[in-house]
Amino acid sequence: MISETAPLASLDQWEDDLLSRYPEPEHKSKEDYRNYDTPERDTVREFYRLNHTYQTYDFVREKESDFLKFDKKELPVWGVAEFLNTLVDDSDPDTDLDQLQHLLQTSEAIRADGHPDWFVLTGFLHDMGKVLCLFGEAQWAVVGDTFPVGCKHSDKIVYPEFFANNPDSYDERYNTKYGVYEPNCGLRNIHMSWGHDEYLYQIMKNYMPEPALYMMRYHSFYSQHREEAYNHLMDEHDHEMFKWVRKFNPYDLYSKSPKPPVVSELKPYYEDLIAKYLPSTLKL
């Protein structure tokens, strides 16, 4: 039976599905990523049905007022990564990496390409918002493609047909092109569907350089960074910053290698990097 809160066997199933939608241009053929069996595809579909049905403008505002109080937990940054790792799901195929390994593979691929240290740190941090799951949030309120709420849903969002179940689609405050927003008002004025991206951004916003914050906040906004479906809400500055979001995306999607990083060898480097940019503990 498929669960209302957890149709996916693990959160990684969403990211694996992204690879079938956005396969790596060079090295791998589409077919390599497309050999899913049907049940997996069905759970991803069910996941998006729930996501698109329940991510309403009011839902997002409620989650913001709850989680942006940051009164849930206080941990050192490395402790957040270890806490996140308690999420490992044993129903995963054995080729899958745990959350910490995904973070380190992403950041190590960024480091290997010689990018600035704050970009490397962004790779290490980018999915830490998934701790939302450990606070009892449903999968569809933690992962999945994100999109603006409070205005018309683009048909460039994956499985757009499920927005027919979303009450905002019938609310005239929210179902027009601009909805509650102004043309090209800038993404800083837009409420995005609630999930790990926005949550992490809000935790990090006083500490990291602006391009890093854009990468954290919009890395799951595929309908914009891949499909450009919301140019009418973006301002010039957003367009400039989305160059970084697009630069980050391949590291997130294509850095998975079957050889897991050796955590103990890498930890000292990341502890130094964390100390350079972030406070000793984070309030979640």
- CB atoms inside a 10 Å sphere around CB 99: 23
Straight-line distance from the first to the last Cα atom of the chain, in angstroms, rounded to the nearest whole number: 32
Out of 98, 108, 238, 252, the residue judged to bind Fe ion by CB under 5 A: 252
Burial class (CB in 10 A: 0-12, 13-18, 19+), 40: middle
- For Fe ion, the binding residues in 19-78 under the rule CB under 5 A are none
Measured from the CB atom, is 56 or 122 closer to Fe ion? 122
C-alpha span between 4 and 80 (Å, rounded): 27
> What does the alpha-carbon distance between residue 218 and residue 276 come to, in Å, rounded to a whole number?
24
Contacting range for Fe ion; rule: CB under 5 A; set: 16-24, 121-129, 148-156, 236-244: 121-129
Min dist. Cβ of residue 169 to Fe ion (A): 26
| 127 is a contact residue toward Fe ion (CB under 5 A) | yes
Q: Which residues contact 144 (CB under 8 A, 6 or more apart)?
A: 14, 47, 48, 51, 193, 195, 220
Residue 253 CB, nearest approach to Fe ion (Å): 8
Binding mask 203-242 for Fe ion (x = CB under 5 A): ----------------------------------------
Of 26-34, 125-133, 145-153, 162-170: span binding Fe ion (CB under 5 A): 125-133
Closer CB to Fe ion, residue 12 or residue 168? 12
Residues near Fe ion (CB under 5 A): 127, 252
